[in-house]
Amino acid sequence: MNPTPIRLAVMTATVATAALAGVATTAGAQTLDKVKASGSITVAYRESSIPFSYLDDKAQPVGFGWEICGRIVDEVKKASGRADLKVQTQSVTSANRIPLLVNGTIDIECGSTTNNSDRAKQVTFATNYFYTGTRLLVKAGSPVRSYADLAGKKVVSTTGTTNFRIMRSYNEEKKLGFELLGAKDHSESQLVVQSGRADAFAMDDILLYGLRASAANPAEWAVVGDALQVEPYAIMMRRDDPTFKTLVDGVLARLMDSGEFATLYKKWFQSPIPPKNINLNAPMSQELLDNLKARSDRPAT
C-alpha cells in the first residue's frame, strides 16, 4: 500500500531527524569513544602551511605539526585499545577547519592555527607549540618596507585567519586606506602578489619565510615590517572533551621533557626540509623556549 501524503511527510521528517541526531551524536561524542567505536581517527592537515603541515612532492602531508600528530595518534591507539586504528587524512583551509572539527568530520587539527579567545568559544586548544606575528611578504624590489608604506595600496591575506582580521582593524585604526583582499589559502595569497594584483601578503611571519624559501626563486621575495603582535599556535580539538585534551597535552609534555620536541623543531625549522631542501633557519623564540617549561595553553586575546 502506498503511504498517504501525511504519512510520507511524517516518515520523511522522522528520517531527517534521525540523520541530524546521528550527526550530532558523532560530533558531540568524546573523541576516544568515537575512535574506539569507529576504528578510525581523522587527522586534518593544511596544504601550504610550511613547515607545520603541507604537501610534499608526492602530495603527502608532512611537517612539524604533522609529525606531532603522528605521536598523538600512537597514544590514541594505546588509550583506545585499537592497535588496528585506521588513520584518515583530511585537507582543511583556514575557513573550514573549525566547522569540520565541530561537526565531527575531523578529530584533530595539527597545523598553523592561532589559539585565541574567540575560537576557544567553539573549540579547545592543546599546549601552545609555536609563537608568531603578522608581517608582510613582498617582491624584493617593492617600495613596501613597513606598514606605513601600505597607504593607498592593495594587501592580501588568507580568509578565515586572525591575520585578515588584524589587518582590517589596523587599516581602520591607522586610516591607511589600503584595499584588503582575501584569498582561499596561503599559496593563492602569494600568487596574488606575484601576479601584481596586490602589493603585499600579510600573514604569520614563519609561514611567509616558508613560502619564500620554497618559491622558484627565493631571492625574488622579502619578508618585511615589524610583527604586529605575538600569537600562539596550538593543536585544535573539539570542546568539552577533557579526556582527549589531557591525552594530547600529555604527549606534548613528554616530547618537551624528553628533548624530542627540540629535535623535531631542529628538523623542521633549522635543517633542509622537503620538497626543495630549503632551510628556514628559524631559531626558537623566547616565548616558545619559556613555554617548554610553563606548558601554557593561554590564548591570544
Q: What is the pLDDT of residues 222-281, one digit of tens each?
A: 999 999 988 999 999 999 999 999 999 999 999 999 999 999 999 999 999 998 898 998
Same domain, yes or no, for 106 and 177? Answer: no
Q: What is the pTM of this model?
A: 0.80
Checking if the pLDDT of 25 tops 90, the result is no
CATH code at position 146: 3.40.190.10
Q: What is the pLDDT of residue 15?
A: 37
Strand partners, 181: 156
Distance CA 195, CA 178 (A): 18
Could you say which of 193, 214, 229 is where a domain stops? 229
Same domain, yes or no, for 56 and 186? Answer: no
Q: Is residue 22 part of a domain?
A: no
Checking if the pLDDT of 21 tops 50, the result is no
Q: Is residue 213 part of a domain?
A: yes
Same domain, yes or no, for 193 and 250? Answer: no
Q: Is residue 10 part of a domain?
A: no
Q: What is the pLDDT of residue 164?
A: 97
Residue range 51-95, pLDDT digits in tens: 999 999 999 999 999 999 999 999 999 999 999 999 999 999 999
Same domain, yes or no, for 266 and 217? Answer: no
Same domain, yes or no, for 209 and 70? Answer: no
Distance CA 59, CA 54 (A): 9
Could you say which of 179, 194, 229 is where a domain stops? 229
Q: Is residue 16 part of a domain?
A: no
Could you say which of 229, 249, 279 is where a domain stops? 229
Q: Which of 130, 190, 119 is nearest to 161 (CA)?
A: 119
Q: Could you tell me the residue range of the domain that residue 32 belongs to?
A: 28-131+232-294
Same domain, yes or no, for 99 and 139? Answer: no
Same domain, yes or no, for 251 and 284? Answer: yes
Q: Is residue 202 part of a domain?
A: yes
